[in-house]
């Protein structure tokens, strides 16, 4: 049994028309007991997939998990969670790491992208982004701001039937 999941809203950036290939498409396959057996992802506007992942007991066999069943390490990176189970920090195999902070409603309010400098053996901040969310739109992201408060990007959502 295969099911495809898409987000109900399409992201429209200023100067761009709506697209059908954003932000992603997932195709899941389930076994007879309705357990996830494979997961295939098409990210953003790339035509190549991240590949099919195989699952046993609803867990990817090549990943590690914490006591609560949250993934802590996989081929795509390492994850650290806050007390509310949000991904607080993510590091991939490259020298980059992203730290995130969330508000009481679970909306991301800040992210810091860092790079490990091998010459100094220090983490160097690359970018800091603040997120402005709309309570009227149920917490949807409206604007991204730089560390200095300058508007980096504004998002407009249109309802899709």
DSSP string, the chain: -EEEE--SEEEEETT----SS-SEEEEEEE-TTS-EEEEEEEETT-SSEEEEEEEETTEETTSEE-TTS-EEEETTEEEEE-TTS-EEEEE-SSSEEEEEEE-TTS-EEEEEEEEEETTTTEEEEEEEEEEEEETTTTTEEEEEEETTS-EEEEEEEEE--
24 has a pLDDT exceeding 70: no
Domain ranges of the chain: 1-61, 63-161
Query: 54 falls in which pLDDT band (50, 70, 90)?
Result: confident
pLDDT tens track for 87-139: 899 887 678 889 999 998 889 999 999 999 999 999 999 999 999 998 888 88
Indicate the pLDDT class of residue 150, thresholds 50, 70 and 90: very high
Residue 42 has pLDDT above 50, yes or no: yes
Topology (CATH level 3) of domain 63-161: Lipocalin (2.40.128)
pLDDT of residue 29 exceeding 90, the answer is no
């Amino acid at each position: 049994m295969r099911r495809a999941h898409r987000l109900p809203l399409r992201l429209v950036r200023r100067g761009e028309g709506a697209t059908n290939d954003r932000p992603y498409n997932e195709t899941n396959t389930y076994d007879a007991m309705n357990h996830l057996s494979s997961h295939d992802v098409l990210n953003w506007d790339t035509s190549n997939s991240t590949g099919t992942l195989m699952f046993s007991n609803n867990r990817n066999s090549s990943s590690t998990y914490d006591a609560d069943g949250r993934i802590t390490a996989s081929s795509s990176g390492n994850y650290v969670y806050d007390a509310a189970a949000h991904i607080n920090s993510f590091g991939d195999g490259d020298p980059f790491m992203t730290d995130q902070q969330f508000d009481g409603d679970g909306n991301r309010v800040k992210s810091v992208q860092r790079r490990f400098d091998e010459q100094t053996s220090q983490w160097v901040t690359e970018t800091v982004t603040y997120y402005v969310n709309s309570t009227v739109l149920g917490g949807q992201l409206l604007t991204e701001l730089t560390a200095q408060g300058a508007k980096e990007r504004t998002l407009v959502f249109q309802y899709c039937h």
